[in-house]
Amino acid sequence: MLGSSSSSSKGGGNNNCDYSFKILLIGDSGVGKSSLLVTFISNFVHDLSPTIGVDFKIKMVTIGGKRLKLTIWDTAGQERFGTLTSSYYRGAHGIILVYDVTRRETFTNLSEVWAKEVELYSTNQECIKVLVGNKVDRDSERAVTQEEGMALAQQLKCSFLECSARTRANVHQCFKDLVLKILEVPTLLEKGSTAVKKQILQQKQVRKPPESNTCCFQ
């Protein structure tokens, strides 16, 4: 179960956690990526302006006795950011692919644009993906059925959830499912382990040649 959690915005080191996971939100502009993030971080629902560039927020959660630091990256759906694209995806442990259930093109773009980008740039082969249909509170305007969402999730080999950042329905569930799945994958766990990262850092420091004052122009 997703235990007691506290949230903070930018910053925060890795010292107080067992694992540090990088999670990405992707999808077309206006599907509700930033709204989902704000709802998850602060339970606060309000109208947001389109994201400019890339933003991230940090949330600390305790799950199964492990302290986790989630760094959740949010990017503007309307602009591509060229050379930055690969660094956005690099090292991600989990990716949330979001579409708007009332706008069909946001659903087709997930398979035609976003999923291809994930394949191209994702560096963790076993990275966990969740497909999320947002804005289910506007059910009368629905343009994508739940069955279609489930079929795409099967095709993309990921889990599927419908939610609403407006009513908060299923928002926590979506992040919780993702984190629980990440915790089941040993290679992702190892990559997210702060203890392993500290060890690697220490080994690097040991290997560093001692500083010398002697002149080498001899």
Ligand X SMILES: Nc1nc2c(ncn2[C@@H]2O[C@H](COP(=O)(O)OP(=O)(O)OP(=O)(O)O)[C@@H](O)[C@H]2O)c(=O)[nH]1
Q: How far out from the chain centre does Cα 176 lie?
A: 12
| Element housing 159 (H / E) | strand 159-162
Per CB under 6 A, 166 contacts ligand X:
yes
The interface partner of residue 47, options being Mg ion, ligand X, none and the CB cut-off 5 to 8 Å by kind, is ligand X
HEC string of 4-71 equals EEEEECCCCCCCCCCEEEEEEEECCCCCCHHHHHHHHHHCCCCCCCCCCCEEEEEEEEEECCEEEEEE
The interface partner of residue 164, options being Mg ion, ligand X, none and the CB cut-off 5 to 8 Å by kind, is ligand X
Task: State which of residues 24, 31, 41, 144 lies at the interface with ligand X (CB under 6 A).
Answer: 31
Per CB under 5 A, 106 contacts Mg ion:
no
Per CB under 6 A, 57 contacts ligand X:
no
Per CB under 5 A, 34 contacts Mg ion:
yes
Nearest residue (CB) to ligand X, 29 versus 155 = 29
- φ, ψ for residue 64, nearest 5 deg: 55, 35
Task: State which of residues 2, 54, 58, 76 lies at the interface with ligand X (CB under 6 A).
Answer: 76
Cβ of residue 83: shortest distance to ligand X, in angstroms?
Answer: 19
